[in-house]
Each structure stands twice: as C-alpha cells, then as structure tokens.
A and B are shown apart, each in its own frame.
Chain A
Amino acid sequence: MNRWSYIIMRVLQVIPTFFVVMALVFFMVRLLPGDPTSAILGERATEAMIARGNKELGLDKPLIVQFGVFVGHFFQGDLGDSINLKVPVFRLILERMPVTLFLTLYASVLAVLLAVPLSFVAALRRDTGIDSAIRGMFQIGLSMPVFYIGLQLLTILGARWRLFPIGGYGETFFEHLWYLFLPALTLGFNLAAILMRNLRAAILEVLQSEYVDFARAKGLRSSLILGKHVLRNAVISTVTLFGLNIGGLIGGAVITESVFAIPGVGRLMVDSIFGRDYPVIQGLTLTFAVLVSLTFILTDIVHAQLDPRVEVT
C-alpha cells in the first residue's frame, strides 16, 4: 500500500467515529436535565410558551428526526443560531477560530523551541546539576495550573514591568506575535514540560542504541551523530507526543483565552456556558472533535513519513 492510500484510509477510518461523536453530542445536549427552550425563555416561562418555543426550534419532533435534521444541517455548515448573539454559530466559530489556531500554533512553536534544546542539554549532561535544574523547572511547570502561570506572567511582565500588552489580539501578523507572546508562553510552557519529560528519555535511549555506537565507531563527528540520528528520533517522538496532547492544548487554550481576554473560540466556549447558549456549546464541542481528529490523522501521516519502521497497513 502506498502513502496516498494510507492517507485516504486513515481519513475514512475517522468517518464512523465521527458519526458516533455527532450522535453523542446531539443526544447529550438533549437528554441531560435543563432543556434549551426553558434556558432561552428564562425561569418565568409558562408551559404554553415552552411548547411554542419547542415547536419553533423543531424540538417537538421525534429525536431521531431531529438528529437527521441536525446531521443534514451540519454538512451544509449550519450549526444553528446562537441564542444570545443571534448570529449563525458557524460564522461565529469561523470568526473566532483563527485567533485560537494562531495561539495554539504559536504555543507549540515556543514549546518546541524550549523543550528540544533543553532536553538535549539535560540528556547530554545527565545526572548533573544542569540536568536536575532543567528537570526541576519543568516539574514545576507540570504542577502549576495554566491559569496561574498566565496570571503571574500577566501581572509581573504585563502590568508591573509593562513589557507586554495585557490583553487583546492586535491587527497585523506581527502585532499578533507581540500581543499573544505571554498567552502563547503560558500555554507553551505546559506543553514544553510534557515534551521535555519524554524527549529526555527518548534521547537517552537513542544515545545508548547500537546504531549510535556504530556511528561513533565509524568515527562520525558527534555533532553529525546528534543532528542526524538523535534529532531525527527526537522529532519523531515529539510529533507523536504533540498529537497525543493536542486535546490538552485546546483545553489549555480555553483557560488561557479566559485569563488574557483573547477573543478566540475558547473564551467563546466559557462565555456560552455562562450564557447557557446551547447551540454554541454544541457547535464548539463538535468543532473541537473535528480538530482533534484531523490532528490525529496529520500526526499519524507525519509519523509514517518520518519513521520508516511504521508499517502502513
């Protein structure tokens, strides 16, 4: 099987899972206590008002019919209208998504820039003071909540020393880089800690492998060994880890956007919860699920490209 059919097959594999995901989100919203109509109309709604509201929203039809309508609309890019903002959910998500994507990508880049060199240093200086210091720093990073790191950075670097803006997103690309630096660092630090922990172990393992011994025996320069053999393997495990942690990254984005008042989908999610805006919550949950599935596929493909040992079956 060649690479292309592998990619197509990987995409096809996701489709049934995704239908179940849609069904799950749909029925979860409808079966749990607290129905959308009473939420829209407020606590003082009468039975008659709720019945009329249900009819308007199509909630009086059998559940299975409602689900069919829901799936049909989904594939037309129609996720319903936001109750509070009175605009299509799809448009709302489309508007806010670039901010969140920018933030998460930025955070991932910062995480890699932090984790890769530091893991190399830690692994090469194994069991020295430097190693312990780096590991200690990241252990703290793993144990500290994202919102707390954000709050401290915001206060010290933003408000007290006025080095960075304390909110907003900016207009141009470079302004985005500037405005989102602290949020991306906040989010990236946590990911860096996860990457670092595994990368250090991966590098140590590679350093002790036979092919590195062989490369040394051949008399290759150590910079070449590190660059060609060790780095390649380190990158493979980083890609896999990144895929595994994309969910955590999105969750972290929800919190980071709330701390830094960034107008992305994460903040939209939290706002929608307090506004009991069910269509938005439902649309966002689905969108996040799509994003995670796509990332899984993407990391699998990149992994298969990088690592010749991966069997394409």
Chain B
Amino acid sequence: MAAPSLVAAQTSSRTRVRLKPSLIAGIVIIGSLVIMALVPNLVAPYSPTNFDYQAVLQAPSIKHPFGTDNFGRDVLSRVIWGAQVDMQIALFTTLFPFVFGTLVGAMTGYYGRWLDAIFGRIVDIVVTFPFLVLVIAIVALLGPGLNNMFIAVSAVGWITYGRLVRGEILTQKKAEYALAGRVMGYTASRIIFRHLLPNAITPAVVYWMTDMALGILLGSSLGYLGLGAQPPTAEWGVIIADGKNFMTTAWWISTFPGLAITVAGIGFSLLGDGLADLLRPKG
C-alpha cells in the first residue's frame, strides 16, 4: 500500500522543481548558439565567405546589422558561422579531458596506492607549466591548426577532471553504501561505475560547463595569434584578428565577434552555476 504513494510523492516533487532565471538565461544563450552552430545556413542572412566589393567596410545598418568587413563580407553572417567553429572548439577541447579525466580520477581515487602516487607526480609536473604556454609549445611543435590545438589541450586538460573526481571518490568510497557494495561482493567496476561515480561526478559536470567557456577563450586566443583556426575560417578569434587593423575606422568587425565570445562565456557560466544548484543534494 505504501509503495504507490511513495512514487506519487516523488513525481510531484519532481514537477515542483523550479528553474532559476539565471539557469533559463544560460539555456537560452547556449541553446541559440547550438542552433546557430547546427544550421548556420538557415540563420545567417548572407554567405560568410562571399566577397562583395560593392559593400566594403560598411557601418552597421538594417541590411548589415553588424556591418561588413574589408572584403564586403557580412560580419553578422561570419559571427553566426563562427558559432559553428567555436562550439566545436568548446566541445572538442573538453570532451576527451572530461571522459578520460573522470576515468583516471575514479581509478586513482578508488584503488589509491601506487596508481595514486603516479597520478600525484603527473599532476605536480603538469601544474608546473603555465597551461597556455604548454598548449602553445605543443601547437608550435605539431603546427598551427584546430586539430593540433585539440590534441594539445586534451593532453593537459584531463588533469583537472582527474583531480576533481579523485577527491569526490575518496570521500564517497568511505560512505556506507560503498562499503555495503563491497560486502555484497560486487565487482570493483560495478561499485565504481554504478555506485560511486553517479554520486561523485557532479563537480566534474559543473566544471565541464566552465571549461567549455575556457575552451572558447583559449581557442579564440590561439586563433587571434594565428595558431588556432586558420583564415578564412570564420572563427571568432580569427575574425577579431582580421578586423584589428581597422579598429579605428571600422570598429564593428572586431567588436561583434568579441561580444559573441563574451556572451558564450556568460552562457556557459550561467549554465554551470544553474546545474550546480540543481544537482546539489537537497536537505
């Protein structure tokens, strides 16, 4: 008799979850960027690469809300197509670090001993290098370009996730339910993946959102320096670099893609903070 009422209580409490305005704002921002990234051809009014020498360096107007650049390309369309490249950067600079770092963190946290000692030494070494310097050095050796940037960031970025998950697993594995699992004779992998990880992964997921913003910051910085995406790719950092020589005469070329980066960063932060609130255990 008690069981049905329990279920009912649960569903009703779930429907009562109220999304905070900041989380909704985050979802809206990132949602629109994802749409731009998926179907830029439907959203953008013009082609991002077509030259139009009749409309060079035009200030923002109704026809070109963000103006045009020195080749007459529509800046709004370039910023929209840029979302495709920069959202890819956000995803591919963080996906491998998230998955691999979580696995390593879970293993080292659960097994400890020599595995943990090795991980500790790797962390000591990696934190000695400034992240950007290390990434730049690796990109320098592999050659500029997006793929090499992904490799460079992945080689270093998993460390943070590893540390986060390791710390969580260390506390979770002392909890009673984990001990119970061991007493029941469950395999280590079952305890780690079915029992510990679901309770330990929240900080890593929240950090993932922040990390995507950092990924875009890094990717656009490398693009700006000429080490990331290569022109004429419409990447936000590359567009800013294209426009930097026109800053005093045509401010709109560099200013709008910079705002796009900022808005994306704020969107990911709001999403991360909102998720942290939602996923935090209540009570």
Which residues of A come within 8 Å of B, CB atoms?
Answer: 17-18, 20-21, 24-25, 28-29, 32-34, 139-140, 142-148, 151-152, 154-155, 159-160, 246-252, 254-255, 258, 269-270, 272-274, 276, 281, 284-285, 288-289, 292-293, 296
With beta carbons under 8 angstroms apart, the residue of A145, A159, A270 that contacts B261 is A145
Q: Are B136 and A273 in contact (CB under 8 A)?
A: yes
A246–B132 CA distance with the chains assembled, in angstroms: 11
Is B227 close to A, CB under 8 A?
yes
Can you give 11 A-B contacts (C-beta < 8 A)? Answer: A21-B125, A21-B129, A24-B125, A147-B220, A159-B248, A247-B130, A249-B130, A273-B139, A285-B134, A288-B129, A292-B129
B residues 116-149 with Cβ under 8 Å of A? 121, 124-125, 127-134, 136-143
Decide if A288 touches B262 in the complex (CB within 8 Å). Answer: no
Looking at the complex, which one of B221, B251, B255, B266 makes contact with A143 (CB distance below 8 Å)?
B266
Q: How far is the CA of A288 from the CA of B139 in the complex (A)?
A: 17
CB neighbours (8 Å) of A269 from chain B are: 133, 136
Interface class of chain A by DSSP: helix
Closest 4 CB pairs of A and B: A251-B132, A143-B265, A247-B130, A273-B140
- Taking the closest CB of chain A, its distance from the CB of B10, in whole angstroms, is 33
**CB of B195 within 8 A of chain A?**
no
> Whole-angstrom distance from the CB of A173 to the nearest CB of chain B?
26
Which residue numbers of B lie inside 8 Å of A, CB to CB?
121, 124-125, 127-134, 136-143, 213, 217, 220-221, 224-227, 237, 240, 244, 247-248, 251, 254-255, 258, 261-266, 269
Task: Assess whether A288 is in contact with B133, with CB atoms less than 8 Å apart.
Answer: yes
Q: Is the CB of A151 within 8 A of B244?
A: yes
Question: How many residue pairs bridge A and B at CB < 8 Å?
Answer: 135
Task: Name A255's closest neighbour in chain B (CB-CB).
Answer: B221
Determine the distance from Cα of A247 to Cα of B261 in the docked complex, in whole angstroms.
22
Task: Report the separation of the CA atoms of residues A145 and B263 in the bound assembly, to the nearest whole angstrom.
Answer: 11
Q: How far is the CB of B39 from chain A (nearest CB, A)?
A: 25
Contact B131 A151 (CB under 8 A): no
Given contacts A28-B138, A29-B141, A33-B142, contact A250 B130 (CB under 8 A): yes
Chain A residue nearest to B273 in the complex (CB): A139
Verify A145–B141 contact, CB threshold 8 A.
Answer: no
CB-defined contacts of B121 to chain A, threshold 8 Å: 17, 20
If the complex has contacts A155-B251, A251-B133, are A258 and B128 also in contact, measured as CB distance less than 8 A? no
Expressed in whole angstroms, the Cα–Cα distance for A18 and B254 within the complex equals 41
Residues on the B chain within 8 Å of A252, using CB? 132
Nearest chain A residue, comparing its CB with the CB of B240: A148
**Chain B residue with minimal CB distance to A30?**
B141
What's the Cα separation between A34 and B221 when bound, in Å? 24
A285 to B125, CA, bound (A): 13
Contact A144 B248 (CB under 8 A): no
User: A248-B132, A285-B129, A293-B128 are known contacts. Are A147 and B269 too (CB-CB below 8 A)?
Assistant: no
Most chain B beta-carbon neighbours within 10 Å: one of A29, A247, A292: A247
Q: Flag if B130 contacts A248 (CB, 8 Å).
A: yes
Known: A139-B266, A145-B221. A254 touches B133 (CB 8 A): yes
**Chain B nearest CB, measured from A48 CB (Å):** 25
Using Cβ atoms and an 8 Å threshold, which residues of chain B touch A140?
A: 262, 266
With a CB–CB cut-off of 8 A, which chain B residues contact A142? 265, 269
Residue of B nearest to A18 (CB): B128
Measured between alpha carbons, how far is A288 from B128 in the docked complex, in Å? 8
Distance in angstroms from A13 CB to nearest chain B CB is: 9
In chain B, what residue has the closest Cβ to A32? B141
Q: Is the beta-carbon distance between B255 and A152 smaller than 8 angstroms? A: yes
Decide: A143 and B127 in contact? CB cutoff 8 A. Answer: no
Known: A24-B125, A269-B133. A32 touches B265 (CB 8 A): no
* A148 contacts B258, C-beta separation under 8 Å: yes
Bound complex: CA A250 to CA B243 (Å): 26
